Structure 1
Amino acid sequence: MKRLEIIWPIFILLGFFGIIIFFVPNLPNRVACQTEKSAMGLEIRNGIITDKYLDSLYRDYETIKYKIGEKERETYLFRKDLSRVYDFFEIGDTVYKEKKDLKIRIFRSGMDTTFVLDFDCTR
C-alpha cells in the first residue's frame, strides 16, 4: 500500500512533464504559422508608406502606416518577419503585396526590390 502512495505522485509528475515537453516546443511554431496566415490575407496594392514606428501600445511591434488612395491603414505583421523587410522600408516607398502571397515588392526612386516574408513556420 505504501508503494502505491509513492508511485502515484511520480506518475502524475511524469505525465505533467510529458505534456509540457510535447506542447511547449510547438507553441512558437503555432504563433509563427498564425502570423504567416494573417500575412497571407494582407493585400497592399500600391500603398505609399506614410509612417514607420515601434508601436508602444502593442509591445513595440514594428508598425507601418500606408495610404492607398485616400484611405490610411496600418499593419504590424512585420514584427516576426525574418526577412527584415521592415528595416528596408522608408517613408515614401510604394508597396505592393497580393493576397495569398508572401512576396512584397517595394518601389523607391527607380529601384524595384522584392522580399519574401519569412515567419519560420514549419508545417
Structure 2
Amino acid sequence: MATPTESSILSDLQTSSDSKIHSLVSAYLRLISTLANSKKKKQDEAAVRSRAKQFLSFLSKSFLIIYKRIYIQNPNQQQRASLSDFFETNRLCITCLEFVSSQFTGGAHLVFKFAFLVSF
C-alpha cells in the first residue's frame, strides 16, 4: 500500500465518513507527534524546525476541514458516532501544532488566524 500524501489525507478528511480518518492522520503525523510526546526536556531545535516546516501546511488546512466536518447543526445518531474520530483527530493536530508553534513568531495563534482568514 502506498504511503498517503498530504493532499490525499486532506481529501479523505473532506469526504470520508468512516473511522479510518484518525488512523490516517495519526500515521501521517507520527514523526511530529513522536517528538511532541517525547519525555526529553530539550528537543533538537533543528529537528523541531524541520518538522514544523514539513507539517505546518497540513495542520493549518486540516483544522479548517475538521471544523467544517464537526460543525453540524442537530446531528443525527450516525453523524454523532462519526464525530468522535474527528474530535480525536483535532486533538492530535492541536497537540502537534502546540509543539511546533515555538518555531514561529506569533505561535499557534498565528496559524489559527491564518487558517481561518483563508477560509473566508
Instruction: Give the TM-score normalised by structure 1.
Output: 0.27
Tell me which protein shows more strand as a share of its residues. Answer: 1
Larger Rg: 1
Tell me which protein shows more helix as a share of its residues. Answer: 2
Structure with higher RCO (Cα < 8 A, 6+ apart) = 2
Instruction: Give the TM-score normalised by structure 2.
Output: 0.28
